[in-house]
Structure 1
Amino acid sequence: MSISRMAWAVLNALQLVFTLLWTAGWICLALLVLLVTRSRRLPLRMAARCWAPGLLRGSGARLVVRGAEQVDWSRPHVVVANHQSMIDICALFRAVPVPLQFLLKQELARVPFVGRYARAMGMIFVERSSAREAARRTREATDLVAAGATLCVFPEGTRSRDGEVQAFKSGAFQIALDAGAEVVPIAIHGSGKVLSLQGLFHVRPGTIVVNIGRPISAAELADRQALAQRAREDVIALLRAA
């Protein structure tokens, strides 16, 4: 192993330790604040204003956000974004100026601290092994959005290894249709180079650009497949403009 590669390996190991300790600390504090205030708003804003920027700075990432002014954030929305890296969550917490909740893979529910925090913050876990359970979770997500929440979904269903935007699964768009909410397409560029899928924790400094598109009225596209296709096309266009 070259000296350069060894130096990066040591630095990434230190960044991993920092990431774990920083995340555990802020989760504990967020849960304490939730216990005292009985409200999710402040703990979720802590994620956006404290936890996420700390991890972005720790990775050496510079965040650029464009287009947020096009959205009336006082209304509930379903935010859909392409997915290249786990650091996408940090970027979205910072880019969206309102409390943000996520539709997450069921596997994350078993991650120490993270699963408990996500449940406490009202995040919804996707259950694919049971159609009945999946339908129940979809109803929960719909109720969450109908009550005024902004829900974020990665409709590709997994992280892209080559940066190409994969087909969008349509389930998230049924949530928007049933809740009567607009869909906000977001393109994230550069996150896969900052925190890639290569190795255990492969981090390199870089710029992450978050391009926020114009909201799509679900009422205009009553079919969820058509809505998914339109959102994917908008995300691809925003990604090319990044």
Structure 2
Amino acid sequence: MSRRDAGRAGAGRVMWRVYNTIQFAFTLAWTAGWITLALLLRPFSGPQARLPLRMAARCWAPGLLWGAGARLRVEGLERVDWSKPCLFVANHQSVIDICALFRAIPVPLRFLLKEEMKRVPFVGWYARATGMLFIVRDNARAGAMFRREAAALLARGHRLCLFPEGTRSRNGEVAPFKAGSLQAAIDAGVAVVPVALHGAGRVLPVDGFFRVRPGTIRVRFGTPLPVRDEGRPVARQALAERAQAQVVAMLRELQ
């Protein structure tokens, strides 16, 4: 590489750092502003917190996707009966996955979050105020409590989304789904809907500090999986394997 090319490459990296710093500042301000408004309106939105949840889908998430230069493509909406509660299970590539799912799913949605998120200003406050679920990872007792809470939430007619890999993928590969995370759907008798997320890891990679790059994020909904077969509950390990296999197959189609 010539000295001139090296200089251009260095200048390009500096420009990206400046651009990402501006994006990060926008993300913080946008999130704080919309969550503050959502919390102020929370007392007037009833026990289901429908208004704050829809604000996330129609205002907060689209703004952050726009700020990241991300274009969203949603496929397979017709496969899901949106009048019924269900458990969405998605692969996990990036923190921007939550924005994409909030925007893609046309009904109020709650997420399962790690316990540490409770202590994050604004985000933790919003999550608790809107009835999100939390879990202490790698804790058997906490897992059992989560399954009871999640089953009750689904039985009341709500929709819940979780990432059954347990963590974000660093290489794009989909790790095996943890079967215990799907037990709540079996207990509540609601379908499991596999969701494939493609491109989020390139828009906002796991490694590095807020290295955003414009790109397309595709969200594809799979065929809902019943949790009963001839009146008997489906084994949760088999259910997890079917959901994971469907997500992997959809990701291959999206590549």
State the one-letter code of the partner of 1:83. Answer: H
**Partner in structure 1 of residue 3 of structure 2:** none
Provide the secondary structure at the position in 2 that maps to 1:78.
strand
Q: Which moves more between the two structures, 150-159 or 35-44?
A: 35-44
CA distance in 1, matches of 2:223, 2:143: 29
- What do you get for the CA RMSD once the two structures are aligned? 1.2
Which residue number corresponds to residue 142 of structure 1? 151
Paired residues of 1:127 and 1:137 also in contact (CA < 8 A): no
Kindly state the Cα deviation for residue 14 of structure 1 after the two structures are TM-superposed. Answer: 0.5
Report SS of the residue matched to 1:237.
helix
In structure 2, how many angstroms separate the alpha carbons of the residues matched to 1:219 and 1:28?
A: 42
Q: Secondary structure at the match of 1:144?
A: helix
How far is the alpha carbon of 1:64 from its aligned partner?
A: 0.2
What one-letter code is carried by the residue in structure 1 that aligns with 2:165?
Answer: E
Equivalent residue, structure 2, for 1:177: 186
Equivalent AA in structure 1 for residue 205 of structure 2 = S
Q: What residue is the counterpart of 2:205 in the other structure?
A: 196
Deviation at 1:26, TM superposition (A): 0.8
> Does the residue aligned with 2:89 lie in a helix, a strand or coil?
strand
Which of 47, 57, 67 is matched with 1:58 structurally? 67
Matches within 5 A, 1:36-185: 36-39=44-47, 40-128=49-137, 130-185=139-194
Cα offset, 1:131, TM superposition: 3.1
Alpha-carbon distance in 2 for matches of 1:130, 1:84: 23
Letter matched to residue 94 of structure 2: S
Check whether the contact 2:182–2:236 (CA below 8 A) recurs between aligned residues.
Answer: yes
* TM-score normalised by length of structure 2: 0.92
1:19 aligns with 2:19: no
**Separation in 1, partners of 2:180, 2:112:** 11
Match of 2:216 in 1: 207
Q: Is 1:61–1:205's contact at 8 Å kept on the other side of the alignment?
A: yes
* Number of equivalences: 242
What SS does structure 1 have at the residue aligned with 2:228?
A: helix
* Alpha-carbon separation, structure 2, partners of 1:155 and 1:185: 10
Contact kept, 8 Å, 2:45 with 2:52, in 1: the verdict is no
Is the contact made by 1:170 and 1:224 (CA closer than 8 Å) also made in structure 2? yes
SS across alignment from 1:202: coil
Amino acid aligned to 2:70: A
| Cα deviations by residue, 1:139-196 (Å, 9 ceiling, x for unpaired) | 1111001100110010000000000000111122101100000000000000000001
Pairing of 1:198-237 with structure 2 (within 5 A): 198-220=207-229, 222-237=234-249
Letter in 1 for 2:10: S
% identity of equivalent residues: 60
- The structure number with the bigger radius of gyration is 2
How many Å separate the matches in 1 of 2:178 and 2:141? 18
C-alpha offsets along residues 25-69 of structure 1, whole Å, 9 cap, x if unaligned?
111111111122334111100000000000000000000000011
SS of the residue corresponding to residue 164 of structure 2 reads: coil
| Corresponding residue SS for 1:196 | coil
Contact map agreement 1:195 1:201 (CA 8 A) in 2 = yes
After TM superposition, the score normalised by the length of structure 1 is: 0.97
In 1, the alpha carbon distance for the partners of 2:139 and 2:11 equals 50
Any conservation in 1 of the 2:86–2:190 contact (CA below 8 Å)? yes
| Whole-angstrom distance in 1 between the partners of 2:39 and 2:114 | 21
What residue identity is the alignment partner of 1:33? L
Q: Distance in 1 between matches of 2:165 and 2:140?
A: 19
Post-superposition offset of 1:130: 4.4
- What is the deviation of 1:231? 0.2
2: CA distance, partners of 1:118 / 1:69: 29
Counterpart CA distance in 2 for 1:232 and 1:83 is 12
- CA–CA distance in structure 1, aligned partners of residues 107 and 91 of structure 2: 20
Amino acid across the alignment from 1:2: G
Q: Alignment partner of 2:209: what SS?
A: coil
Shift of 1:129: 5.6
